[in-house]
Amino acid sequence: MSGFVFPNEMEINWSLLIVLYPYITGLVAGAFIVSALYHVFNRRQLAPVGRLALVTALSFLIVAPMPLLLHLGQPVRGLEIMWTPNPTSAMAGFGYIYSFYMVILLLEIWFIFRSDIVAHARSSRGIARLGYTVLSLGAWDTSPRTLEQDHRLTTVLASIGIPAAAFLHGYVGFIFGAIKANPWWSTPLQPVIFLLSAIVSGMALLMLVYAVTCWRRKEAVDHQCLMSLNKYLWYFLILDVCLEVLEVISKMYEAEEAWPVIYQLLTAYLPVTFFGLQLALGAVVPLVLLTVARRAGSRSGQALTLLSAALILVGVFSMRWNVVIGGQMLSKSLRGFTAYHPPFLGLEGVLPAVVILALPFVILAVVCRIIPPWSQKAAGEEYYSSDVEVSA
Amino acid sequence: MRLSRRDFLVKGVQLAAGGLVATTVVGKVWPAGTTLAQGKEAPRDWTRVWEEHEWAFVVDTRRCIGCGRCVVACKKENGVPLEAEVTRTWVEQYAVMADGRTEVISPHGGQDGFAETKVTGEMSKAFFVPKLCNQCEKPPCVKVCPVAATYQTGDGVVLVDRERCIGCRYCIQACPYGARFLHPELHVADKCTWCYHRITKGLLPACVQTCPTGARQFGDLKAPDSAVKKILEEQPSNVLKPAMGTEPQVYYLALDRVVI
Amino acid sequence: MSGPHLKFYHQPWFRAFLLVVAIVIVFFVARDLATPASFGQYGYYRGQNVNDWATREVAFSGGSTTCQACHQDKHEAWAAGPHAGINCESCHGPAAAHPANPGQVRPEVPAGREFCALCHDINVARAKAVQQVDVAQHNPGPDCTTCHNPHRPLPVGMGGKQ
């Protein structure tokens, strides 16, 4: 604490867990957009990650409400947001948007993987057979005609999913952007910035997940696919950075009442995470590396692309930190700053945060066992039916 | 006006739920929750009561002596632990230096008073400013509550339903005045209620009653010979952060421009 | 959508549709059960909560007149002196429960020089209307109450201390 902060601001109210929440939903939105590029916009190069993107989005979506719930003062009352949502609250939408999106995503995954599920049900026995039968909802028909129907529904669902994903994350930005009381948060650009950084981080995540799964399965990374992701990533990243910088510049140029404190916040309290991690390492360097990677050889090109992806993940995390924590460091008295150092243990410490961040990967591994998302070499045939064995 | 707004809100939810089933917002089966009060008074018809009152709070910064008795009284009246840093009301001490610098302090919310001011350099003026919830006419905190656990009563006081608050702290973020906090023991949002349990019994808020100098005054603008109404009619007054558009109902007399 | 090859209820879309409908029904039933009875009584919130707040018990009594009947002497002295503007409970703390049970529930009895210093110590920000003394310099040592009657604080020899 330095300068004067109001007595009720001695401690930060939204801690590390609330940094994780927009970060994780962002990853969901980004991964989903990649799958939509393939399933709706028919970007064939993305076939190798089309299905992987969906199950990745699902794994992270399952975990997304966890940091929120853990952070509540009264976690058991969390469902009240479903029973009596306040229509004037930006946050009240969470329950409904989340549920809606979850249903859409599950349906889309179900239709895409249904023939696989049926194949698994047919080829397995015992508990596994029962499990797959339940998963199939008893719809075992895999005639080309039914599959064609599935396919059409998938496209519809994915098209609904795009605005849902955009909404899910754009509105997280709105939660912050609409707080007039906080000069660092309050800007109409916030939802757009959150959405773009979400897409960027989700793509970066997917690239890494894809690379790791390839490596685990001893398969070559599809170079075309990775480079095409590289290009999309670059486009979204440049937009994202421009808006992030624009936001700060306009605050400065308008010489807002709070600019002196925001300036102090950025230069004295967040210089490393804002200029260092968010802008330099998380944006400028990846922009350069991604460009270089497209011109480099196949091995080094892939390596550079993946390195950029990792940097971007760090950068976007820093961005979330700078918004969520930075905004609360700045006192509403405009005369001081509250310090924040997350504890290691405890409900809101670093350890639970790490566990929460690791959880989606565990879920992803499990999901990949149940319904392997790997496409066969005949990429593009998303409703192929195969007799891939479920490795026990 | 209130009724039409309520209708609008109800409509909003039904739409949000997808308009699939026309349900009334009022559930029938859930048992009425246990009340947080021991009092067994028969429930009143509040719409009738609310029509008769319009509360207002006046703070005269020239009279405040920074003794902090209001802060202590508030905490004791409302069950906020004395040792907690958080508080429903607090007192700030301002010292404006000759060179224009402003030094503000509020050690422990001012509840233990203020030690002799130590100032370096030449000082041009110094004064105390008591702060509390402004019971805004357009409360941003109520707007953002996701579960409708905080609301504005018909007589203009913003309350928190302790049985329904989920402790998300969005309201704390939305308050421009830092008036809200998470109750350290109950883990729900807490804030000044203008001692709603006192004013509805015809008593003064604890902070007003214990103020030794009359720096805090409270009254009903609809009362026949309301003292606060007279003050507000006769003296220039101001509110905190008017640009926020919250329309506070705590009016400050002799409010210096350095006060935020 | 249902082709002739398969009855509609065997088709995947119908199975999924059923599942979604089931979820929606469960949701509405749960919502109806979970919404508090008085929700919406006055507005979009739980109406009963207004009573919850209004019926809370007070800690501070209605005012100094509450104390008059039993502490006649104190009240008389107080009402005539310069502290008359200060509520008894401002110094003595919450005492609403005290009259019913004076032996058990005892209000605080403030002591020590720091207590009077809260209001009387020198502070540049303090309104000049209140007499300020440099507590460290002004008759250091004994409690202020040895010379000043807290209820009618006029110096000894001026009729203050009884």
Question: CA B17 to CA A82: how far, in whole Å?
Answer: 9
| Two structure tokens written together for A24 | 């994780």
Q: Comparing B5 with B114, which gets the higher pLDDT?
A: B114
Cα-only R_g, chain A: 22
Task: Let me know: does A278 contact A315? Beta carbons within 8 Å.
Answer: yes
Question: CA A305 to CA A288: how far, in whole Å?
Answer: 10
Counting other chains too, the contacts that A128-131 makes at CB distance below 8 Å and 24 or more residues apart are A128/A390, A131/A370
Question: CA A129 to CA C130: how far, in whole Å?
Answer: 86
Q: Comparing C27 with B123, which gets the higher pLDDT?
A: C27
Question: CA A139 to CA C128: how far, in whole Å?
Answer: 86
Query: Which member of A8, A84, A332 has the closest CB to residue B86?
Result: A8
| Two structure tokens written together for B130 | 């008591």
Q: Which residues of C touch A146 (CB under 8 A)?
A: 5-6, 11-12
* B195 in reach of chain A (CB within 8 A): no
Going by pLDDT thresholds of 50, 70 and 90, the confidence category of residue B57 is: very high
pLDDT score recorded for residue B120? 63
Closest-CA residue of chain B to A82: B147
pLDDT score recorded for residue B20? 34
- Give the closest-approach CA distance of C7 to chain A in angstroms: 11
Task: Let me know: does A110 contact C19? Beta carbons within 8 Å.
Answer: no
Q: Does C15 contact A107 at a Cβ distance shorter than 8 Å? A: no
Which residues, listed in sequence order, are joined to residue A330 by a DSSP beta bridge?
Answer: A337
Interface of A with B (CB under 8 A): 4-11, 13-14, 68, 71-75, 77-78, 80-81, 83-94, 96, 175, 178-182, 328, 331-335
Query: Which member of C32, C42, C57 has the closest CB to residue B154?
Result: C42
Cα-only R_g, chain C: 33
Closest-CA residue of chain A to C11: A139
Task: Let me know: does A221 contact A214? Beta carbons within 8 Å.
Answer: yes
- Give the closest-approach CA distance of B230 to chain A in angstroms: 31
pLDDT score recorded for residue A256? 80
Helix (H) or strand (E) holding A74: none
**Helices of type H across chain A:** 16-39, 47-63, 65-71, 80-83, 93-123, 126-135, 144-177, 190-216, 223-253, 259-264, 285-295, 298-329, 350-370
Task: Let me know: does C68 contact C76? Beta carbons within 8 Å.
Answer: no
Specify the DSSP class assigned to residue B56. Answer: E
Q: Does C13 contact A138 at a Cβ distance shorter than 8 Å? A: no
Question: CA B138 to CA A126: how far, in whole Å?
Answer: 62
| Two structure tokens written together for C28 | 């509405």
Burial A55-94 (b: 16+ CB within 10 A, else e): bbbbbbbbbbbbbbebbbbbeebbebbbbbbbbbbbbbbb
Q: Does C43 contact B5 at a Cβ distance shorter than 8 Å? A: yes
Q: Does A137 contact C15 at a Cβ distance shorter than 8 Å? A: yes
Q: Which amino acid is at A373?
A: P
* B146 in reach of chain C (CB within 8 A): no
Task: Give me the interface pTM, i.e. the ipTM.
Answer: 0.90
3-state DSSP assignment of residue A291: helix
* B30 in reach of chain C (CB within 8 A): yes
Closest-CA residue of chain C to A112: C12
Instruction: Give the mean pLDDT of chain B.
Output: 85
Rounded to 5 degrees, φ, ψ at B251 are -105, 130
Q: Which amino acid is at A61?
A: L
Total beta-carbon pairs less than 8 A apart between chain A and chain C: 53
Q: Comparing C115 with B4, which gets the higher pLDDT?
A: C115
pLDDT score recorded for residue B3? 39
Task: Let me know: does A309 contact A233? Beta carbons within 8 Å.
Answer: yes
Q: Does B197 contact C123 at a Cβ distance shorter than 8 Å? A: no
Closest-CA residue of chain C to B207: C90
Mean pLDDT by 10 residues, chain A (392 residues): 92 95 94 92 91 96 94 93 94 91 95 93 92 92 90 93 88 94 94 95 97 93 94 96 95 89 95 96 96 92 96 97 96 94 88 96 96 62 38 32
For every residue of chain C, which 3-state class applies, written as one string? CCCCCCCHHHCHHHHHHHHHHHHHHHHHHHHHHHCCCCECCCCCCECHHHHHHHCCCCCCCCCCHHHHCCCHHHHHHHHHCHHHHCCHHHHHCCCCCCCCCCCCCCCCCCCCHHHHHHHHECCCCCCCCCCCECCCCCCCCCCHHHCCECCECCCCCCCCCC
The upper half-sphere exposure of residue B143, i.e. CA atoms within 13 Å in the direction of its Cβ, equals 15
Query: Which member of C5, C20, C39 has the closest CB to residue A143?
Result: C5
Q: Does C34 contact A111 at a Cβ distance shorter than 8 Å? A: no
Q: Which residues of B touch A81 (CB under 8 A)?
A: 146-147, 166
Residue B233: CB atoms within 10 Å: 10
Task: Assess if CATH 3.30.70.20 describes domain B20-260.
Answer: yes
Q: Which residue in A197, B67, A33, A307 sits closest to C126, CA to CA?
A: B67
pLDDT score recorded for residue C155? 62
Q: Which residues of A touch C30 (CB under 8 A)?
A: 82-83
CA separation (Å) from B183 to A92, B89, B166, B186, B190?
Answer: 22, 14, 12, 5, 6
* A76 in reach of chain C (CB within 8 A): no
Going by pLDDT thresholds of 50, 70 and 90, the confidence category of residue B232 is: very high
Q: Which residue has the tokens 């021991």?
A: B38
Which residues, listed in sequence order, are joined to residue A4 by a DSSP beta bridge?
Answer: A335
Give me the helix-helix angle, A16-39 and A144-177, nearest 10°. 140
CA dihedral sign of residues C21, C22, C23, C24: positive
- The neighbours of chain C, by the rule of 3 or more Cβ pairs under 8 Å, are A, B
What pTM was computed for the model? 0.90
| Two structure tokens written together for C23 | 């979820």
Q: Does A146 contact C11 at a Cβ distance shorter than 8 Å? A: yes
- Give the closest-approach CA distance of B243 to chain C in angstroms: 27
For residue B34, pLDDT beyond 70: no
CA dihedral sign of residues A227, A233, A239, A245: negative
* C37 in reach of chain A (CB within 8 A): no
| Two structure tokens written together for C33 | 């059960």
Q: Which residue has the tokens 């593009």?
A: A380
3-state DSSP assignment of residue B52: coil
Total beta-carbon pairs less than 8 A apart between chain B and chain C: 218
Closest-CA residue of chain B to A9: B178
Q: Which residue has the tokens 């109409």?
A: A188
pLDDT score recorded for residue B13? 40
Query: Which member of A73, A75, A89 has the closest CB to residue B145?
Result: A89
Q: Which residues of A touch B141 (CB under 8 A)?
A: none
pLDDT score recorded for residue B118? 58
| Two structure tokens written together for B220 | 């009903």
Q: Does A139 contact C5 at a Cβ distance shorter than 8 Å? A: no
Residue range B76-105: mean pLDDT, rounded: 94
Query: Which member of A4, A84, A179 has the closest CB to residue B173?
Result: A179
Q: Does B166 contact A179 at a Cβ distance shorter than 8 Å? A: no
Task: Let me know: does B145 contact A89? Beta carbons within 8 Å.
Answer: yes
Query: Which member of C39, C59, C93 has the closest CB to residue B25?
Result: C39
Q: First-to-last CA distance in chain C?
A: 100
Q: What is the pLDDT of residues C12-68, one digit of tens each?
A: 999 999 999 999 999 999 999 999 999 999 999 999 999 999 999 999 999 999 999
For residue B16, pLDDT beyond 60: no
